[in-house]
Amino acid sequence: MVRTMLSAALVAASLAAPAPAQDLGEIVGGVARQYLSQEQDRAAFAQAQERNTIRGYQSYLQQFPNGLYAAEARGQIERLGVSLATRPDPYAGGDASGLTRDQRIAVQRRLNALGYGTNGADGNFGAGTRRAIALWQRDRGYTQTGSLSTAQANEILRGTTAGGGGGQASATGLGPADNEADLGLSRSQKAAIQAALTRQGYDTRGIDGAFGSGTRSAIASWQGANGMQATGYLTAQQADSLLR
């Protein structure tokens, strides 16, 4: 294919007005570079199609924002996003084979505590919760469906803190993760807490407003150093102390 395109370029150049050898070389080199770029574009899009995930198509667009398949990639991202948001809820009704409303709220709280924002914890699995579930599934190597299997729901409900234990549940049945989720900390507040911990020598591995494993470990270390139970999750009083 490359030989055919180069031959065509040579023929076109020979039919035109005589040009210096250097100019002819530039023409041939330009054709070759264009072909190579197109092949890279095709290969990147084929890889995105094979993955068929929002992240895969976004990765393609980062490499080729104006590529041959950019419009198609954006269309696929929109289609996948709508699919996650409108997928029927397999746990609707909270029957014996699914989740009760309280369990659904607990799942949302756990996801929020793990850094996967659900845009609320009301027991309704809307678009925000679907996106959070899909991201959770991605990070654990599951197929990104946006819907939980019973085993996955149980895995979330049994979740513990990063690098340790989740602490004991309170008399209300809520654990440290649930109580922190109920604080409704904004991304900017979380970033401010990370900055405060970092200033005090507790490395959160970044100040991004997302409480990942680094932040959980930093919180636990800070709690232990200050005579508190090292759960890795903040109480309202602890959060207020770090935000001052």
pLDDT for residue 97: 39
pLDDT for residue 90: 47
pLDDT for residue 82: 57
Q: Given a cut of 90, is residue 203 above it in pLDDT? A: yes
The answer to whether position 233 is within a domain reads: yes
The answer to whether position 73 is within a domain reads: yes
Last residue of a domain, one of 57, 86, 115: 86
Q: State whether 11 and 76 are in the same domain.
A: yes
Q: State whether 82 and 114 are in the same domain.
A: no
Average pLDDT, the chain: 76
| Domains contained in the chain, number | 3
3-state secondary structure the chain: CHHHHHHHHHHHHHHCCCCCHHHHHHHHHHHHHHHHHHHHHHHHHHHHHHHCCHHHHHHHHHHCCCCCCHHHHHHHHHHHHHHHHHCCCCCCCCCCCCCCHHHHHHHHHHHHHCCCCCCCCCCCCCHHHHHHHHHHHHHCCCCCCCCCCHHHHHHHHCCCCCCCCCCCCCCCCCCHHHHHHHHCCCHHHHHHHHHHHHHCCCCCCCCCCCCCHHHHHHHHHHHHHCCCCCCCCCCHHHHHHHHC
Q: State whether 200 and 239 are in the same domain.
A: yes
Is 133 in contact with 144 (CB distance < 8 Å)?
no
Last residue of a domain, one of 86, 103, 129: 86
Q: State whether 39 and 67 are in the same domain.
A: yes
* pLDDT-derived band at 93, boundaries 50, 70, 90: very low
The answer to whether position 172 is within a domain reads: no
Separation between Cα atoms, residue 125 and residue 119, nearest integer Å:
10
Structural domain boundaries enclosing 219: 181-243
Separation between Cα atoms, residue 229 and residue 220, nearest integer Å:
8
Q: String of b and e for 73-105 (b: at least 16 CB within 10 Å)?
A: beebbeebbeebeeeebebeeeeeebbeeebbb
Q: State whether 191 and 233 are in the same domain.
A: yes
Q: State whether 81 and 105 are in the same domain.
A: no
Which residue would you say has higher pLDDT here, 179 or 14? 179
Per-residue pLDDT tens digits for 77-89: 777 765 545 555 4
Which residue would you say has higher pLDDT here, 159 or 210? 210
Q: State whether 70 and 125 are in the same domain.
A: no
Which residue would you say has higher pLDDT here, 35 or 168? 35
The answer to whether position 173 is within a domain reads: no
CATH of the domain at 146: 1.10.101
pLDDT for residue 167: 44
Which residue would you say has higher pLDDT here, 50 or 18? 50
Q: Given a cut of 80, is residue 29 above it in pLDDT? A: no
The answer to whether position 56 is within a domain reads: yes
Q: State whether 226 and 153 are in the same domain.
A: no
Which residue would you say has higher pLDDT here, 197 or 3? 197
Last residue of a domain, one of 55, 86, 117: 86
Region 125-129 average pLDDT = 85
Region 13-38 average pLDDT = 65
Cβ atoms within 10 Å, residue 40: 13
pLDDT for residue 81: 67
pLDDT for residue 54: 80
Per-residue pLDDT tens digits for 129-188: 888 888 888 878 778 888 888 888 888 877 643 333 444 444 334 567 777 777 778 888
Q: String of b and e for 137-147 (b: at least 16 CB within 10 Å)?
A: beeeebebbbb
The answer to whether position 51 is within a domain reads: yes
The answer to whether position 69 is within a domain reads: yes
Q: State whether 80 and 6 are in the same domain.
A: yes
Which residue would you say has higher pLDDT here, 11 or 215? 215
Per-residue pLDDT tens digits for 215-244: 988 998 999 899 888 888 888 889 888 988
* Chain-centre distance for alpha carbon 175: 25
The answer to whether position 229 is within a domain reads: yes
Region 54-74 average pLDDT = 85
Q: Given a cut of 80, is residue 199 above it in pLDDT? A: yes
